[in-house]
Chain A
């Protein structure tokens, strides 16, 4: 599966838009890009998934350029409760790839008042 690289940590302030970028230079044609959020002492929570261009839901937007070698998770108007670790995963759908999922160390996002 494609290896991903994302910043170890980021800081921002309440009300700002936060963009977390993930690099995945070896992404394969049938790979999807998925982001998870994890709060302290909880399991990760699925945020958003996409294949190309832009995906938006009630929580975030995911921007994927045409070459798909990177992706950006965008959190609009963050609040203190968005302080968490964010993981970027890349891989093909289907249960056959489930055992190869790699979460990595993620990006630790800290939001300040």
Chain B
């Protein structure tokens, strides 16, 4: 089974802090994704990476950056956390062959910024 793990299930940070969310997948997938999920808004794509050191902006990249130094690891960085970044953050991966719509998700990190 594909396994996608995220570094924390729950995280509480203060406004202005730099926050790192880590995601690791064990299936050698080329594609990795970061989403945030908010009530009534569904899942929104923040950033996407299709290869090591490659990244593309999603729908809502403002206030976020990403890093992919190794194929299995994709990090989401909140440079200066703000209260409007309180959300559930979901990481996913998928193989590059076949349909990119078959994504495998991690359990999520619920981030609260106070």
Contact = CB atoms under 8 A, between A and B. Distances in A.
Contacts, number: 71
Interface majority SS (helix, strand, loop, mixed), chain B? strand
Interface in A7-65: 32, 34, 41-46, 49
A85 to B, nearest CB: 9
Interface residues of A, number: 24
B108 A42 contact: yes
Contacts of B94: 98
Given A42-B107, A43-B90, A95 B100 contact: yes
Contacts of A45: 105
Interface residues of B toward A: which range? 20 to 34
Given A99-B45, A105-B41, A94 B108 contact: no
A46 B107 contact: no
B22 interface: no
24 contacts: A32-B99, A32-B101, A34-B99, A34-B102, A42-B105, A43-B4, A43-B90, A43-B91, A43-B107, A44-B43, A46-B102, A46-B103, A93-B99, A93-B100, A95-B30, A95-B31, A95-B50, A98-B31, A98-B50, A98-B100, A99-B58, A101-B100, A105-B41, A106-B42
Interface of A: 32, 34, 41-46, 49, 87, 89, 91, 93-95, 97-99, 101-106
